Copies of this chain bind each other. A is one copy, B any other.
């Protein structure tokens, strides 16, 4: 399988390493992945697009939640050229999912985005494969590791939000500009993708009511603890009493005994409730560039196996 990597930052470099490290495992199923092009911001993609031997494009451009660019145009171009697209860029899925999915189907290729909704956490695949023959009625998730770490830290040490954020930044968990994470937009984007893909609902970011964790105080956390609860930043898609789908991202008090209660540190989790298969909770999905790259590789393997 000949691939092009578009945007080769941390995840891209980790993918290059991983492709070497997992070579023998992949060879067992006759999968030989050859990185034929690495295309950065200033490179011309036309040679890759015109290459009949190129099978897939791995689009690792940074997420732009406003319009999905530049990833969206890359995805359009490579799908139009009949190449599979695997992406970790949430922006292009949020803004182009339906269009790109239709384009992929027309061209007989695949669009895979397992990495966009929790990295190594197999939230999309679990929803598609493990709920086959059943309908997903609601989605609930702890989808952002950084905010989960901050809330954990506030509970463990009794400190205020600003101190916990500073610690997360020191540890390299929170970014220098943590806005997208702590204000809930990262979670909202992931929730939106899951809702589009798994519940087949046409929703936009404007439909998500978003509240971050910045206003939580040490006193709030303390009160939750006294009530046997723990704050988590929860993304939720569920139908209300009148049958309308509601999308929310907000800090919720999760009671002890709830399966999401022990999801600590940078961990993530998602819960699907279905009509016939009961509920399914998946947890895990290590954070960092290597697990994110492993999630991209998982999509490439699934395409090779013709399983997505």
Contacts and interface: CB of A to CB of B under 8 A. Distances in A.
Interface of A: 18, 21-22, 25-26, 120-122, 125-126, 129-135, 256-259, 261-264, 276-286, 290-291, 294-295, 297-298, 300-302, 305-308
7 contacts: A25-B134, A26-B133, A132-B298, A262-B262, A280-B282, A280-B283, A282-B282
Contacts of A261: 262
Contacts of A21: 276
A286 B278 contact: yes
Contact of A298 (B18, B134, B284): B134
Given A276-B291, A286-B278, A307-B308, A301 B132 contact: yes
Contacts of A280: 120-122, 282-285
B25 A135 contact: yes
Contact of A133 (B257, B262, B284, B298): B298
Interface centre among A278, A280, A283, A307 (most CB of B within 10 A): A278
A18 B125 contact: no
Given A125-B130, A262-B262, A283 B286 contact: no
Contacts of A257: 262, 264
B259 A294 contact: no
A130 B126 contact: yes
B294 A133 contact: yes
A284 B276 contact: no
A278 B301 contact: no
Taken together, the copies of this chain in the complex come to 2
A308 B286 CA distance: 26
B132 A302 contact: yes
A14 B152 CA distance: 43
Nearest to A19: B133
A263 to B, nearest CB: 7
Question: 10 smallest A-B Cβ distances: which pairs?
Answer: A278-B286, A122-B130, A276-B294, A132-B301, A133-B297, A133-B301, A280-B284, A281-B283, A132-B298, A120-B277
B281 A284 contact: yes
B22 A276 contact: yes
A295 B282 contact: no
A55 B107 CA distance: 29
B282 A278 contact: no
A181 to B, nearest CB: 19
A298 B286 contact: no
Contacts of A25: 133-135
A25 B131 CA distance: 12
Contacts of A264: 257
A284 B270 CA distance: 12
Contacts of A26: 133
A24 to B, nearest CB: 10
Nearest to A124: B130
A130 B297 CA distance: 11
A73 to B, nearest CB: 28
A171 B121 CA distance: 36
